A and B are shown apart, each in its own frame.
Chain A
Amino acid sequence: MDPLEVEFLAEKETVKIIPNFSLDKIYLIGGDLGPFNPGLPVDVPVWLALNLKQRQKCRIVPPEWMDVDKLEETRDLERKEDTFTPAPSPYYMELTKLLLNHASDNIPKADEIRTLVKDIWDTRIAKLRLSADSFISQQEAHAQLDNLTLMEINTIRTFLLDSLNCMYKLRSNLQPASSKGQYADF
């Protein structure tokens, strides 16, 4: 899966915006949106929020978790725990990227948030690598990893699967019985 695809999925998440225009309910396949009242917060999908933002039709209200204090807490917890803690949002990385890139003027302390989310991401990815490493080194058949987000799974998937495949091949070649196979390969 492409990261862009994951991002696309993340755009379905809702976010609050404060529109500066007036529009009745709009009826879309994905559900009804609105009504839009100027100055009154309304929930819309991220893709629409960004679109409106780019056209300067709204202000985006950052999601609740996108707050320096809360993220600091999450980061500290993430660092303390050996296992994965629940992510602030299933699409925290994607949303942070999208919102900060397009609406950083509406998000207080955008830079700090960017750093914090990057910290959390790094911590989690490090854990993920570590667990993949121990998974392989201990030659386990299966492992359980909770609270992984889609993006994180996606990051490790190609590498992990390919390497496991590769290792499987190598390992099966080591066994005496497979020496025939080796010949067969040639």
Chain B
Amino acid sequence: MPCERKPLRFAHCEGHTEVCFDDHGKFIVTCGSDGDVRIWESLDDDEPKFITVGDKAYSLALKNNKLVTASSNNTVQIHTFPDGDPDGILTRFTTNATHVTFNCSGSRVAAGSSDFLVKVVEVSDSSQQKTLRGHEAPVLSVTFDPKDDFLASSSCDGSVVVWNIEEQTQVISWPLLQKTNDVSGANSLCRLAWQPRRAKFLAVPVETKVVLYERGSWDHVITLSDDLLTQPVNVVAWSPCGQFLAAGCVGGLLTLWDVNSQLCVERQKHEKGFTVCSLAWNPSGSQIVYSDTMGCLGLLDGLSLSSSSTSTSTSTSTSTSTSTSTSAPKPTAAKKPAKEYDDLFDDDDDDRLMDEGLSDTNSPLKKHVAGDEDDDDDDFLMPATGRVRNRGAILDDENSLDTGSLKLGPGKFGDDDEDASGAIVPVSAPVLPLRPVYDGPMPTPPQKAFQSGSTPAHLTHRFMMWNSVGIVRGYNDEQDNAIDVEFHDTAVHHAMHLTNSLSHSMADLSQEAVLLACSSTDELASKLQCLHFSSWDTNKEWMVDLPKGEEAKAVCLGQSWAAVATSSLILRLFSIGGLQREIFSLPGPVVCMSAHGEQLLIVYHRATGFDGEQALGVQLLQLGGRRRQVISGEPLPLTHRSYLSWLGFSAEGTPCFVDSDGIVRMLNRSLGNTWTPVCNTRDTCKSRSDHYWVVGVHENPQQLRCIPCKGSKYPPTLPRPAVAVLPFKLPLCQTSTEKGQMEEQFWRSVLFHNHYSFLSSSGYETDEDGQSKSLKEQQELLMKMFALSCKLEREFRCVELAEMMTHNAATLAIRYASRSRRMALAQRLSEIVLEKANQIQEEEPEEPESSSIRRNSGYDQSEAAAGHHSPTRGEQEEEEEEEQEQERGGELCEEGDQQEMETEEPTGNRKRFNPFAKESVSSVTPSLTPINKAGRANPFKVLGSGKPSAPPGQTRVTNILDNMTSSRKAAPHAGSAGKANKGPVLKPLAPRPKSKAQSTLLQMTGSKTTSKKTRDSSEPTAQQQKQQEAPPPASSADNTENKRPKTGFQLWLDDNRKSILADHPDMEAETDVIKEAMGRFRTLSADERLSWTERAKGLTGEAADLKKRKRATGEGEDGVDHENGATEADENSAKKKKSLDPSSKLSAFAFNKK
């Protein structure tokens, strides 16, 4: 029999517990040693109603809305159900009662006690008592015969006794149990159970078995056992149909037998292995609820009893009879339909009993015939039909028949068969009508409106509001009906104590006022009361009556306004002084409202939810200067089968909400107002029933303020709960890995950074410091991730990361990449940087402000990066960038005036020089810096001159193309370059093309700014000057240059260097060599130069050859290079400084000359 074991939950404190269902199966009722009776609407009910019945509750029984409990004050008392009002004391013992039970009709209660007595009391008149004396030890359990004639009890003296109630005599007594002195010492509670309806069997748990005695003969007819049952059976319970018997054991095993087949149809193990001490069937038969000695409550659901009937029928032929000689229950497949058919006509128990009595007469015959099983089965067809025939004839009353059957003696075994098979029938017959016809998804009851930050309204002491401003507590007990307002910050206002004469149930609190609302009563309309304590006049209070029939459902306070949502789907706005403002209709019944500044967040029921889901919609309105609806009725994404439990804004004004599953979600304004889960408070809970009650969300610093609640969903008012701070955590994958962690941190930082842009866009002043800090943090994280990806050889990932970086961080990334010798990566990154630079430029003319922000952020970023690299670097770079920009500005002003530019350049150089002078920490040698500077400044002009009179668009196109070709060319070289890099001494001698990354970037910027320029005749001079300045930085550039394609000039220089050096042995500086070389190159004929250029183009093929040559010359030139080489490492990383691309410059030169 398939069934679902629902997770356990704590219901009571440790100790004996009992559980039962109410008459309709709607409620689960439990009692425990904490003296409470709890009424659970379902297993998930977090706020069960409770009735305190005493210090300890030993047993309970429920029937006809009367709750009978045995409590520690030695009484058996009645309470009304479900209200829990005391309804008198039924009986008293000299010590506590151990078990109470109702009879079938609910007219009598039997109670067994530790003083050896069993009492049977009329519920209607407690003076009518019958005392059954005879046990010699405390009574363990009592059970009524469904026909009310007998009562069975078990006792610690080891006996199980059947009593005749009327005569108060023992009918029979079996010594079945172990003797003990006390209930607590008994190894089994030995809860007896009498088969319902049929009243055929009395089930007695004996050790690890359940023994079934037959009513009347009191013979032991069936033993139910299971191999897995190793510990004593504590409690047994019959299914409402009487076919199945459930047993709960000491070790926590739950076993379900089909009594007809005597087969175990279901076994469930208690999830913690605690002793099951109570079991109850839902009257519908589909659920079993059980409780254990540790106070846990569990449920088996979805027991489909009818499905097992087929299995029982198949098993019939194999089942053997028990202690008695005749075959016990043997229903056949053929017989069952007939039975069911019968039952269609006689659902009534009485009728069936009559039939059974009748069929007894047939059974002796049967018994004689029954030679083997098959014959038996065949025979069964007869009585079945016989019954139908006989039914009309028998008109006697039930009791006479019953007694008749008792006297029949041998016939009863046939009766056995009838009964057992008959027992199957009620399963389908009476249960079916109870089942709803509609089997699809069921609508969820809509969540009630609530104030976020309040505890449930039914509590006598509750928080009406706990928010970032203060606490509003409501007391509603016998002595007092009052409201306490307390402020976290006493500077806002002193604490207030108000008498709650109007019985306000809703409250909100802001820095300016306290807003209270009550629902209407018979005479009074629903009222809104506002204590405007920050008012400067003497009237600190106002009150408004809502129109008749309109109820306040939710209230909230914004900045100088108040809002109330009412039952007639209207939202009313008031000014804080009490003026009525806007009014509008809500799309659905409000669930919760929250306000922050000028924002109003409303959550309402969008539609009916199904299967436990709530269909909530959310509206976000901006009520200030720019009135608009930011979110217009979008669905609120809740966790599956949860409801809204908190709604509010972060302190910075971002809407957040928490659902009953503890997931905190925050609005992501940068992603189209989507909701991002930022925290799961349940993750940090130690136990399943612990919760965090959220009171506030802060984005900067990232804090989720909440109150830890042990074993409940909300905190009690006393002792005063303490606020705890939880961290946020986005539910990204694999956050245990370093990568996942950083990703989570990054995206969290991005998300929690959104409020800055929101605040600035809505005109609030923002915390620049915090903003820059978070930007810095983000870039830092990106760099870390970049470094990690580099380490893991994930270059594509590196590029993806670089795309997310700011311009400056990306250049740092390039530096990192080239330093870790990932040239291909550096190459790609340079393209990204280039694009970013373009973007900045494009944005600049349009939005100068935004670009300045960008620069700012860039600054932070570089500082951040400096944490990992050299701090001076970052600053240098920043300053340089500014210089560059300055310069660009200068150029734009003096368009076309090349001469002026030339004059300006030195100034720029000087300016730029300063940081270096200042920052002597940097290992850049002074001799190199000026060269560098010059190199840096040049690109603008060089490129401008390189592409004379090209229209701007075209310029860019060529640039991009250049870039692409160069990268393509670079690729095949990478391998060899890598090898070459390993040689530590191999320095590039000649001016080699620089790392393309820098050059392209600067080409672009240069070309852009200068594209509009017209060239004048001074160009060649400028060009020349630049060339003279340019080579040195290139020469000091890193080894990566080796792989760059060479220009014709370089090739020529490589070839002729020796001769130049030979001619001028005094030449130490590379600049001089190049100067000289340039002079010589120029003297060559145009054709010769062209051929060199051509050779340069075809270089790829001869790369290896050239490399050799280069190496040879390189070794020769080591001395020359030496001082440059010393600082090479620094140069290498300082990309920006090496902005000049000699190769492009030189090729431009060649082109011009051509």
Contacts and interface: CB of A to CB of B under 8 A. Distances in A.
Interface residues of B, number: 15
Interface string B703-724: 1010000000000000110111
B725 interface: yes
A40 B705 contact: yes
Interface stretch (B111-119, B485-493, B887-895): B485-493
A45 interface: no
A20 interface: yes
Contact of B489 (A16, A38, A61): A38
A117 interface: no
A61 B491 CA distance: 21
A30 B528 CA distance: 51
B1011 interface: no
Contact of B488 (A38, A61, A108): A38
B487 A38 contact: yes
Interface in B450-497: 468, 470, 487-491
A39 interface: yes
A64 B720 CA distance: 15
B1096 to A, nearest CB: 63
B723 A21 contact: no
Interface in B737-779: none
Interface string A118-136: 0000000000000000000
Most chain A CB inside 10 Å of its own CB: which residue of B488, B719, B720: B488
Given A39-B468, A40-B705, A108-B719, A22 B491 contact: yes
B722 A20 contact: no
A135 B662 CA distance: 60
Contact of B722 (A37, A38, A41): A41
Given A39-B468, A40-B705, A20 B489 contact: yes
A18 interface: yes
A57 B470 CA distance: 15
Nearest to B495: A20
Interface string B723-743: 111000000000000000000
A10 B1123 CA distance: 63
Nearest to B718: A108
B819 to A, nearest CB: 37
A56 B490 CA distance: 10
Contacts of A22: 489, 491
Most buried by B among A40, A41, A59: A40
A41 B723 CA distance: 7
B719 A39 contact: no
A162 B48 CA distance: 67
B723 A20 contact: no
B490 A18 contact: no
B719 A21 contact: no
A41 B491 CA distance: 17
Contact of B490 (A16, A21, A41): A21
B710 to A, nearest CB: 13
Contact of B725 (A38, A40, A61, A108): A40
B719 A61 contact: no
Interface string A25-55: 0000000000001111100000000000000
B509 to A, nearest CB: 12
Contacts of B468: 39
A49 to B, nearest CB: 14
B489 A21 contact: yes
A20 B719 contact: no
A22 B491 CA distance: 9
Given A41-B723, A61-B722, A20 B705 contact: no
Contacts of A41: 722-725
A37 B469 CA distance: 11
A133 to B, nearest CB: 43
B468 to A, nearest CB: 7
A50 B470 CA distance: 23
Contacts of B489: 20-22, 38-39
A22 B492 CA distance: 10
Contacts of A40: 488, 703, 705, 723, 725
Contacts of A37: 488
Contacts of B703: 40
A21 B493 CA distance: 11
Nearest to A107: B719
Contacts of B490: 20-21, 38, 56-57
A165 B675 CA distance: 76
B777 to A, nearest CB: 19
Given A39-B468, A40-B705, A18 B491 contact: no
Interface string A58-83: 01010000000000000000000000
Contacts of A20: 487-490
Contacts of B705: 39-40
A157 to B, nearest CB: 38
* Most chain B CB within a 10 A radius of its CB, from A16, A39, A57: A39
A109 to B, nearest CB: 9
A39 B723 contact: yes
Contacts of B719: 108
Contacts of B725: 40-41
A141 B490 CA distance: 60
A20 B495 CA distance: 11
Nearest to B490: A20
- Which has the most chain B C-beta neighbours within 10 Å: A16, A22, A37? A37
A21 B491 CA distance: 7
B471 to A, nearest CB: 8
Contacts of A61: 722
B231 to A, nearest CB: 33
A99 to B, nearest CB: 15
A20 B723 CA distance: 13
A39 B705 CA distance: 10
A37 B725 CA distance: 12
Nearest to B720: A59
A56 B722 CA distance: 18
B422 to A, nearest CB: 58
Interface in B477-535: 487-491
A56 B470 CA distance: 16
Nearest to B705: A40
A18 B723 contact: yes
A123 B723 CA distance: 36
A137 to B, nearest CB: 48
A107 to B, nearest CB: 10
A61 B708 CA distance: 15
A30 B741 CA distance: 34
B1014 to A, nearest CB: 58
A16 B725 CA distance: 13
Contacts of B491: 21-22
Nearest to B466: A39
Contacts of B720: 59
Contacts of A59: 720
A18 to B, nearest CB: 7
Contacts of B724: 41
A37 B489 CA distance: 8
A61 B719 CA distance: 11
A56 B705 CA distance: 23
Contacts of B487: 20, 38
A66 to B, nearest CB: 13
Contacts of B488: 20, 37-40
Interface string A87-125: 000000000000000000000100000000000000000
Interface of B: 468, 470, 487-491, 703, 705, 719-720, 722-725
Q: Which 3 A-B pairs have the closest CB atoms?
A: A39-B488, A38-B488, A38-B489
21 contacts: A16-B722, A18-B722, A18-B723, A20-B487, A20-B488, A20-B489, A21-B490, A21-B491, A37-B488, A38-B490, A39-B468, A39-B488, A39-B705, A40-B703, A40-B725, A41-B722, A41-B723, A41-B724, A41-B725, A57-B490, A61-B722
Given A37-B488, A61-B722, 8 more contacts: A16-B722, A20-B487, A20-B488, A21-B489, A22-B491, A38-B487, A41-B722, A57-B490
